[in-house]
């Protein structure tokens, strides 16, 4: 909840756009990971191995990753950033440069990051 109690918070873009639309004074900054780019994590969906509704789940996944749903999400209040470059271009959606930092290097720093979060943020 936005209550003006902090100067900084980490969140994803859809929360920022929804808050702005609701009239909150909030800015969006894409953090530079040291190479002039930021980490982009698109919306995700997964299929649970061995789930009882495998075929239905696959149909839902196909629907969710369709260009039609991607466009609806991009045009919604949350303004999700499309994965498809063609759709980003058609909608005039811009985004910052993507970092070249590898997920492997992120994984190496994960344990230290979790420790810092627990010490600094979770009290």
Tell me: the pLDDT tens digits for 53-77?
889 999 999 999 999 999 999 999 8
Q: How many domains does the chain have?
A: 1
Residue 46 domain-assigned (yes or no):
yes
Query: Which residue(s) pair with 98 in the sheet?
Result: 38
Percent of the chain topping pLDDT 70: 98
Counting Cα atoms < 13 Å in the Cβ hemisphere of 112 gives 5
Tens digits of residue pLDDT in 79-109: 888 989 999 999 888 888 888 888 888 889 8
d(CA 100, CA 32): 11
Residue 4 domain-assigned (yes or no):
no
Contact yes or no for 45/56 (Cβ under 8 A)? no
Residue 3 domain-assigned (yes or no):
no
Residue 2 domain-assigned (yes or no):
no
Q: Which domain holds residue 69?
A: 13-120
Residue 6 domain-assigned (yes or no):
no
């Amino acid at each position: 909840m936005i209550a003006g109690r902090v100067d900084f918070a980490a969140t994803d873009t859809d929360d920022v756009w929804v808050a702005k639309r609701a009239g909150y004074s909030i800015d969006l900054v894409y953090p530079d990971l040291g190479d002039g780019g930021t980490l982009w994590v698109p919306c995700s969906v997964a299929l649970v191995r061995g789930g009882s509704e495998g075929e239905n789940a696959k149909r839902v996944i196909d629907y969710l990753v369709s260009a039609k749903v991607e466009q609806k999400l991009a045009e919604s209040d949350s303004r999700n950033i499309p994965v498809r470059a063609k759709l980003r271009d058609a909608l005039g959606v811009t985004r910052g440069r993507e970092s070249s930092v590898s997920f492997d290097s992120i994984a190496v720093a994960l344990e230290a990051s979790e420790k810092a979060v627990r010490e600094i943020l979770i009290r």
